[in-house]
């Protein structure tokens, strides 16, 4: 496995693979890899003979009071995991991935509104900008993203469509620990008590989804079922809970299985967690 630190190094490796007739798959990450990330690698490898994992804690998607400085960076362990999973290149640029006087931004203005976009101003501008940079740097044929970051996925699909980026976006289902908690690099921050509280998030989503499966179509009632579970856990502070249309991310007019998705963000202690579940 090659470790590329600069765009020219990455390009040289990718161009050699292309010349050998290989399709290129990209898995963008911020590192601190877990089995969820590695499931994205597996999906990339099933569709492309040459796989690049980028590891870059992107400063432009963090707010001034967020955890950029303390975001976990177990880089050697990440490289070991990538090598064991058959990754061809880890692309880990330095801060100079952005020119010191970078002045160009990618801003999606519809699906990035509401949900996380409302609570993390500038976040999706940072995400869209870095993802376009990574797609261009790797000249990827396919790129894989997790459904766990529902709104991020929607933003990237729009970006690719609206700017004619020549890449196919693949989505991977949310990987969960055996207790139901969606895997996240930030789960490392949780104390045992906070983790116990965090488990109420998937439980609340599942309770609401089973109500819809049983025939309930009123969004207010489905949301109330989830909200009651979340409110009963004093260790959680809810940021948002919404039932949204899977494509537009606008409030869903009905709790329609196959169309509507429950999306939640909540704090367990100081750690912000997100999750979602399609009805």
Any alpha helices (H) in the chain, and if so which ranges? 7-19, 35-47, 75-84, 115-119, 123-138, 150-162, 192-198, 200-213, 219-231
Q: Say how far apart CA 168 and CA 213 lie, in whole Å.
A: 32
Which one among 112, 151, 184, 271 touches ligand AMP, defined by CB under 6 A? 184
Which one among 51, 54, 129, 174 touches ligand AMP, defined by CB under 6 A? 174
Residues 39-78: x/- map of binding to ligand AMP (CB under 6 A)? -x--------------------------------------
Q: Per CB under 6 A, which of residues 142..171 are in contact with ligand AMP?
A: 145-146, 148-149
Retrieve residue 117's tokens.
């976009």
Q: What's the closest the beta carbon of residue 141 comes to ligand AMP, in angstroms?
A: 17
Q: Backbone phi, then psi, for 106, in 5-degree steps? A: -105, 120
| Site for ligand AMP contains 187 (CB under 6 A) | no
**How far is residue 70 CA from its own chain's centroid?**
19
**How far is residue 138 CA from its own chain's centroid?**
19
Helices 200-213 and 219-231: crossing angle, nearest 10°? 150
Give Dmax over CA atoms of the chain in angstroms.
58
Catalytic, 123? Answer: no
Q: What's the closest the beta carbon of residue 29 comes to ligand AMP, in angstroms?
A: 4
Closer by beta carbon to ligand AMP, 19 or else 69:
69
Closer by beta carbon to ligand AMP, 53 or else 236:
53
**How far is residue 188 CA from its own chain's centroid?**
17
Which one among 51, 54, 112, 185 touches ligand AMP, defined by CB under 6 A? 185
Q: What's the closest the beta carbon of residue 28 comes to ligand AMP, in angstroms?
A: 6
Residues labelled catalytic: 37
Contact footprint for ligand AMP (CB under 6 A): 29-30, 36-37, 40, 145-146, 148-149, 172, 174-175, 182-185
């Amino acid at each position: 496995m090659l470790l590329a630190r600069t765009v020219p190094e990455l390009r040289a490796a990718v161009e050699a693979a292309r010349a050998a007739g290989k399709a290129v798959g990209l898995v963008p990450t911020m590192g601190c890899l877990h089995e969820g990330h590695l499931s994205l690698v597996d999906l990339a490898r099933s569709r492309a003979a040459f796989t690049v994992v980028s590891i870059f804690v992107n400063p432009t998607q963090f707010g001034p009071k967020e955890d950029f400085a303390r975001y976990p960076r177990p880089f050697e362990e990440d490289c070991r995991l990538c090598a064991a999973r058959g990754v061809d290149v880890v692309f880990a640029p330095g801060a100079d991935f952005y020119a010191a006087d970078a002045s160009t931004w990618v801003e999606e203005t519809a699906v990035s509104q509401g949900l996380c976009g409302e609570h993390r101003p500038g976040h999706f501008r940072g995400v869209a900008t870095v993802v376009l940079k990574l797609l261009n740097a790797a000249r990827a044929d396919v790129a894989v993203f997790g459904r766990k970051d529902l709104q991020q996925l929607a933003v990237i699909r729009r970006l690719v469509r609206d700017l004619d980026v020549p890449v196919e976006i693949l989505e991977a289902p949310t990987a969960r620990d055996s207790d139901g908690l969606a895997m996240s690099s930030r789960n490392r921050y949780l104390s045992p008590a906070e983790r116990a509280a965090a488990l109420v998030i998937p439980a609340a989503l599942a309770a609401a989804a089973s109500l819809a499966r049983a025939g309930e179509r009123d969004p207010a009632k489905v949301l109330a079922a989830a909200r009651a579970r979340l409110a009963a856990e004093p260790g959680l502070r809810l940021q948002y809970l919404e039932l949204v249309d899977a494509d537009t991310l606008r409030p869903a007019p009905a709790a329609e299985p196959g169309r509507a998705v429950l999306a939640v963000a909540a704090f367990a202690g100081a750690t912000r967690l997100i999750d979602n579940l399609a009805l």
